[in-house]
Amino acid sequence: MMMSHKANMAMVFVQIVYAGMPLLSKVAISQGTNHFVFVFYRQAFAFLALSPFAFFLESSKSSPLSFVLLFKIFMISLCGLTPSLNLFYVAINNTTATFAAATTNAIPSITFILALLFRLETVTLKKSHGVAKVFGSIVGMLGALVFAFVKGPSLINHYKSKTISNDDVPSTKDSVKGSFTMLAANTCWCLWIVLQSKVMKEYPAKLRLVTLQCAFSCIQTAVWAVTVNRSPSVWKIEFGLPLLSMAYCGIMVTGFTYWLQVWAIEKKGPVYTALYTPLALIITCIISSFLFKETLYLGSIGGALLLVSGLYLGLWGKTKDEKIQRYGEKQSQQEIKEEVIIV
């Protein structure tokens, strides 16, 4: 029970931190910061922040780091972490901060499918908790769609903010491009979440694992940025909000919250971690409404309620499934086969 509460509080805190990421990132990118360079400095900040803790706090937990294991960690960064971050910042240049947060609510459903494919998740279709896990993901996805596309009467309507000009509002063509790019970024992110469960069995030092991935991601993004744009001027750091955004995304989002997520994935599984993603959308919407003067509609409230309902359905199903797996050894083999069907 205590572990469950710790995991819940950790994931809520992660989503609060995540809510600030699209807001600060959107402003930094709109002020001319190259998105690939932004990711490079973000990962560099994360590596520098995590390295001392990884070296001193996990010296006793570190396993022998063979070439094969190091290559696996490199590939997880290359296939999951690096493309997800770079595609996210490409997409956010063509969308609003609220819409960027809304599209990330596809993460629980995508993670659930990937976890089934990798045999890291089970579904009990003949029991209520199995239906709740599937139905919760569907309701959460529906809530995200309602939030993003259903307007209705405006509840909070502001005058246009001077912070975001009309030039920052994406066109329909750019919004479609941004939506597909964000979907690709979310898929890569889900792959990263799922693959953590695999590599942590071989390398249990979570802080060192995240630090290594940040280092690899930093190198990979640097190669990506140089390949796309070879102008030295793009590497110049603008002091003020762009630098603050890089430090926040690097130290808090990439550094601290990645470690919390890896810890939660180890304790509760990848799907449990992904189920909390909708909370960031609600927080981002509220902050955007007051900070960037974005209009809040009745449809947004309805979508938020669906998101929360999907979250609780999924969490209830996941908790019930864990209890069956935990106490299943006390049942007969025939009862286990009747209650748990591995897909």
Average pLDDT over residues 266-293: 70
Residue 94's contacts (CB-CB under 8 Å, 6 or more residues apart) are: 170, 174, 175, 177, 178, 181
Please report, for residues 102, 282, 295, 296, the alpha-carbon distance to residue 159 in angstroms, rounded to integers and kept in the order given: 23, 21, 9, 12
User: Distance of CA 331 to CAs 82, 130, 326, 328, Å?
Assistant: 44, 19, 11, 5
Answer yes or no: is pLDDT of 223 > 90.
yes
Give residue 84's Cα distance to chain centre: 9
Best-predicted range by mean pLDDT among 94-103, 176-185, 318-327?
176-185
Tokens, residue 180: 């597909």
pLDDT the model gives residue 187: 87
Is residue 120 within 8 Å of 197, Cβ to Cβ?
A: yes
For residue 117, the surrounding DSSP H or E stretch is: helix 107-117
Q: What is the pTM of this model?
A: 0.72
* 35 touches 29 (CB < 8 A): yes
| Tens digits of residue pLDDT in 285-294 | 777 666 656 6
Determine the pLDDT at residue 326.
66
Q: How far apart are CA 155 and CA 143, in angstroms?
A: 18
**Spatial CA neighbour of 19 closest among 311, 323, 282:** 282
* Average pLDDT for 306-324: 74
| Per-residue pLDDT, 217 | 94
Please return the burial class of 17, using the count of CB atoms within 10 Å of its CB with bins 0-12, 13-18 and 19+: middle
